[in-house]
A and B are shown apart, each in its own frame.
Chain A
Amino acid sequence: MTSSTTTAGVQSGGSNSPPAAIELKGISKAFGLVQANKDVSIKVEAGSIHGIVGENGAGKSTLMSILYGFYEADEGTIHIDGNKVEIKNSNDAIAAGIGMVHQHFMLVDTFTVLENVMMGAESGALLRDSVVAARRELERLEKEYALHVDPDALASDLPVGQLQRVEILKALYRGARILILDEPTGVLTPQETDQLFRILGALKDQGVTIILITHKLREIMDVTDNVEVMRHGKMVAHRVTAETSKEELAELMVGRKMRTDLQKQDAKPGDVALVVENLTVRDGYGIAKVDNVSFEVKAGEIVGVAGVSGNGQSELLEALSGITPIDDGRIIYDGTDITPSRPTDPAAVRHMSVGHVPEDRQRLGMITNFEAWESSILGHQRSPEFQKGLFLDPHTVKTHCKSLMEQFDVRPPTPDIKSANFSGGNQQKLILAREIERNPKVLLVGQPTRGVDIGAIEFIHRQLVELRDKGGAVLLISVELDEVMTLADRILVMFEGRIVAQVAGDKADERMLGLMMANAMTDENSNEVSA
């Protein structure tokens, strides 16, 4: 039992420390020719928060899927609390005390929180007994970990932050002592992220072991005790969080020095390219999601829209791109008016030289079942350059796709691969390539780097600035404050569908934007900063 602890001499614990909560030894896993994990070994101390960072496709999710029983490793062993275990499916994992909170929630919308939590773990044939038992257990968990969720609320009525708590509760309800969180903050607002981290702290205090997978280095620095860095399927470094820095981790992840700051010149705004006047968009219930919004974007500038997600940014983007009809006000592109009585559609908007990189690339920006060359002309499928008589010309389209891939460093640069099989960053680069390639007068961009690895983020940012410098008007909607502050020449802050503040890009700081996003700025303060 003690033999396993002596192997890692760098650990601060002595030889009489308890066995690691999880120890993976020599895990290898290949998918066809792709070696997703190669001789990976990690050791996670009980009651610690252990971060795993790495670029997209570095093998983090595969490793966790092996631990959770979705895949079987080709080689290697898993030890829980010092005992070797076989995990062939998720039931084995749950039995071993492992719980997983997926990036995409696995909840039934029409069930209540209580029903979701007990689903699959009902205690008997009669539902009523289970409900009573589950409610009691839920109350206990709530008290113990400060995890408050209304047990009778419908899942569909809850914001994402709460849904995530339900996922955590689900795992704990099944007796998890080890919790794996896969990119948990991807969908959260900064406030929700803070709350999540408080919860993780409470869990840790109660002795729960947590594995946190993320690309966000700040989160690693904030909450973890130890951190592993993965690159190309291999574990390349282990650090005690307190003894490392964001910069060092970033370098380890990408394997090279990277610039932390994007160099860009001052904007040279030209003519107005996009005017939005008193724009209002209502949802199916008549609630104004975009509420009387007015702004303009000039050629040669990047206007950032900051805001906590869910404050009307998505609706604004869909209205501007012609996907949803507008209810009031008007949008003017290059002299063409779009009003409720003169609606438009995405094809028409594209014809006005407007590019659109949508927020949700997999559900909107590409068709994952299409091969990359097919996705590379989505929106331009009727363009004459791709036709030969009545027919689409695959040769021309593939050549075109190949050149886009080379210009935008899409890896692998192979047009015949299914769109779904590219990593998030490469999918995004392909979409960006498609939308930027025609030098649009206006580019609408939503969350350009969500779920994208650091190397690709830098590349994408540079492309946006380049388009600006060529005279494109860019409207950037992002929940990443860093991103908005890095890129935008002017920043608009959205709150509950309205634009509550406007500030010059170089005058903004995180604290100020945070206050604006929460609409907590006092009047004097906001007057001070309005441009």
Chain B
Amino acid sequence: MSASPVKPLPRWIDVGLIPVLNILMALFVSGLIIFAIGEDPWEAVKIMAYGALGFDEGIGYTLYYTTNFIFTGLAVAVAFHTGLFNIGGEGQAYIGGLGVGLFLLAFDTAMPIWLLLPLGIVVAGLFGAAWAAVPAYLQAYRGSHIVITTIMFNFIAAALMVYLMVNILIKPGQMSPQSVTFDKQSHLPFMSDVFGWFGMEIARTPLNITVFWAIICCFGLWAFIWRTKWGYETRAVGYNERAAVYGGVDPKRTIMIAMFISGGLAGFVGLNEIMGVHHKLLLNFTAGYGFTGIAVSLMGRNHPVGIVLASLLFGILYQGGAELAFEMPSITREMVVTIQGLVILFSGALAYMSVPWVSKIYNYLAADKPVAVEGEA
């Protein structure tokens, strides 16, 4: 890198054009694979795009996935700003869901929804945060590496949930490990309901009002990281712990705070899934959102705006991919995962691959700008 005489690129290229190019390259390679198994890549792209964005039901599902990705992406980002790699979003989301589930099993009829919602948010956040706090404590005060401990806590969370669902919380008299359904009044309104209040009719999808909370969290996290003294200290520890200590920052406490927030954000996936969609406790509702959050955060450059865009992309890939697997039988679910993997590869690991030649073209065009403009006219 250091050897190439790269002039700084304008911001619109750096954060706009390059990510788009990365996605196009990923789609191109995906197209080659689809072509190789004897399907029409262009047709596949059309099915994906239409499946994800072409009609209200598709859009609903896309945004529902997006909601979960925003939570887990933000969770990874806040830890990353502190120099920590939180791989435990999956487990924190799981436990966050458990928290909401327990809360609603106990109080679903005891309070009105306008009280259940804020308390549900708090409980989901606290449970997720508590699950992240243990690895955070072990990292800050005992020196156990947080990557290892958060991974292990994912397994512990999964085992705990199986135990609880099979032995304790299962609805009596049935085989499948699910709890009783919460009272109808405790369910979060679906977006189809919300549109219904205004007399508009859209297809019923899992998309519920949690999506608004996700957007609020984006603003909140941006303000926290870039506009508060705590966020300042968080970034200071992430960039240079020694300098942070010099500046009077306690890195241990900062690690605890950042991981607490990180775990809480991941826990909100539980809010979306349990209080918003399933309305009962069940197994495996986290479905890998925690892990995909890592890719989302990476692709979104750990910035809330980038995370929203990356979440949207992954939402489209999830929903469009599901449609594709349905419409083109020779493209299996695994093939869709491959395409997602390619997007992660090109947008994450190879994110800067196109920079040298993009900047070469840019420098060339910038030097001859008047000519280029005339040529186009």
Instruction: Kindly state whether residue A497 has any CB partner on chain B within 8 Å.
Output: no
Are A378 and B247 neighbours in the complex by a CB distance under 8 Å?
A: yes
Instruction: Kindly state whether residue A128 has any CB partner on chain B within 8 Å.
Output: no
Interface bits B194-207 vs A (CB < 8 Å: 1, else 0): 00000000000000
Chain A nearest Cβ from B297, distance in angstroms:
18
In the complex, A242→B236 CA distance in Å? 49
Chain B nearest Cβ from A141, distance in angstroms:
29
Interface bits A357-400 vs B (CB < 8 Å: 1, else 0): 01000011111111000100011011000110011101000000
Are A323 and B229 neighbours in the complex by a CB distance under 8 Å?
A: no
Chain A nearest Cβ from B224, distance in angstroms:
9
In the complex, A382→B254 CA distance in Å? 14
In the complex, A74→B243 CA distance in Å? 37
Are B245 and A323 neighbours in the complex by a CB distance under 8 Å?
A: yes
Instruction: Kindly state whether residue A70 has any CB partner on chain B within 8 Å.
Output: yes
Instruction: Kindly state whether residue A347 has any CB partner on chain B within 8 Å.
Output: yes
A residues near B2, Cβ cutoff 8 Å: 70-71
Residues 88 to 123 of chain A near chain B (Cβ within 8 Å): 88-89
Instruction: Kindly state whether residue B233 has any CB partner on chain A within 8 Å.
Output: yes
Q: Given A70-B3, A390-B228, answer yes or no on A369-B248 (Cβ-Cβ < 8 Å).
A: no
In the complex, A366→B239 CA distance in Å? 10
Name the residue on A nearest B240 (C-beta). Answer: A367
Are A32 and B8 neighbours in the complex by a CB distance under 8 Å?
A: yes
Are A378 and B243 neighbours in the complex by a CB distance under 8 Å?
A: yes
Are A321 and B7 neighbours in the complex by a CB distance under 8 Å?
A: no
Name the residue on B nearest A73 (C-beta). Answer: B5
Instruction: Kindly state whether residue A231 has any CB partner on chain B within 8 Å.
Output: no
B residues near A89, Cβ cutoff 8 Å: 3
Instruction: Kindly state whether residue A462 has any CB partner on chain B within 8 Å.
Output: no
Name the residue on A nearest B232 (C-beta). Answer: A381
B residues near A364, Cβ cutoff 8 Å: 242-243, 246
Chain A nearest Cβ from B129, distance in angstroms:
19
Instruction: Kindly state whether residue A356 has any CB partner on chain B within 8 Å.
Output: yes
Are B3 and A392 neighbours in the complex by a CB distance under 8 Å?
A: no
Are A368 and B240 neighbours in the complex by a CB distance under 8 Å?
A: yes
Residues 236 to 289 of chain B near chain A (Cβ within 8 Å): 236, 239-240, 242-250
Instruction: Kindly state whether residue B337 has any CB partner on chain A within 8 Å.
Output: no
Are A370 and B247 neighbours in the complex by a CB distance under 8 Å?
A: no
Name the residue on A nearest B248 (C-beta). Answer: A347
Instruction: Kindly state whether residue A72 has any CB partner on chain B within 8 Å.
Output: yes
B residues near A514, Cβ cutoff 8 Å: none
Chain B nearest Cβ from A378, distance in angstroms:
4
Q: How many residues of A contact B (CB 8 A)?
A: 37
Interface bits B212-241 vs A (CB < 8 Å: 1, else 0): 000000000001000111011101100110
Are B227 and A323 neighbours in the complex by a CB distance under 8 Å?
A: no
B residues near A374, Cβ cutoff 8 Å: 232
A residues near B3, Cβ cutoff 8 Å: 69-72, 88-89
In the complex, A50→B292 CA distance in Å? 57
Interface bits A390-424 vs B (CB < 8 Å: 1, else 0): 11101000000000000000000000000000000
Instruction: Kindly state whether residue A346 has any CB partner on chain B within 8 Å.
Output: yes
Chain A nearest Cβ from B81, distance in angstroms:
11
Instruction: Kindly state whether residue A345 has any CB partner on chain B within 8 Å.
Output: yes
Are A381 and B247 neighbours in the complex by a CB distance under 8 Å?
A: yes
Q: Given A346-B247, A382-B229, A392-B227, answer yes or no on A71-B5 (Cβ-Cβ < 8 Å).
A: yes
B residues near A363, Cβ cutoff 8 Å: 240, 242-243
Instruction: Kindly state whether residue A350 has any CB partner on chain B within 8 Å.
Output: yes
Within 8 Å by CB of B227, from A347, A350, A382, A391, lies: A391
Chain B nearest Cβ from A131, distance in angstroms:
31
Chain B nearest Cβ from A69, distance in angstroms:
7
In the complex, A367→B81 CA distance in Å? 13
In the complex, A378→B247 CA distance in Å? 5
Within 8 Å by CB of A346, from B7, B223, B248, lies: B248
In the complex, A381→B249 CA distance in Å? 9
Are A345 and B250 neighbours in the complex by a CB distance under 8 Å?
A: yes
In the complex, A378→B249 CA distance in Å? 9
Which among A32, A346, A366, A368 has the highest number of chain B CB atoms within 10 Å? A346
Q: Given A69-B3, A71-B3, A363-B240, answer yes or no on A370-B235 (Cβ-Cβ < 8 Å).
A: yes
Are B245 and A346 neighbours in the complex by a CB distance under 8 Å?
A: yes
Can you list 10 A-B contacts (CB < 8 A)? A71-B3, A356-B246, A365-B243, A366-B243, A367-B239, A370-B239, A378-B236, A378-B243, A379-B248, A386-B229
If A379-B248, A381-B229 are given as contacts, then 13 extra A-B residue pairs at C-beta distance below 8 Å, sorted by A number, are A31-B7, A32-B8, A323-B246, A345-B250, A346-B245, A346-B247, A346-B248, A356-B246, A367-B239, A367-B243, A367-B244, A378-B246, A382-B229
Q: Which residues of B contact A (CB under 8 A)?
A: 2-3, 5, 7-8, 223, 227-229, 231-233, 235-236, 239-240, 242-250
Which 4 residue pairs spanning A and B have beta carbons closest together?
Answer: A347-B248, A378-B247, A379-B247, A369-B239
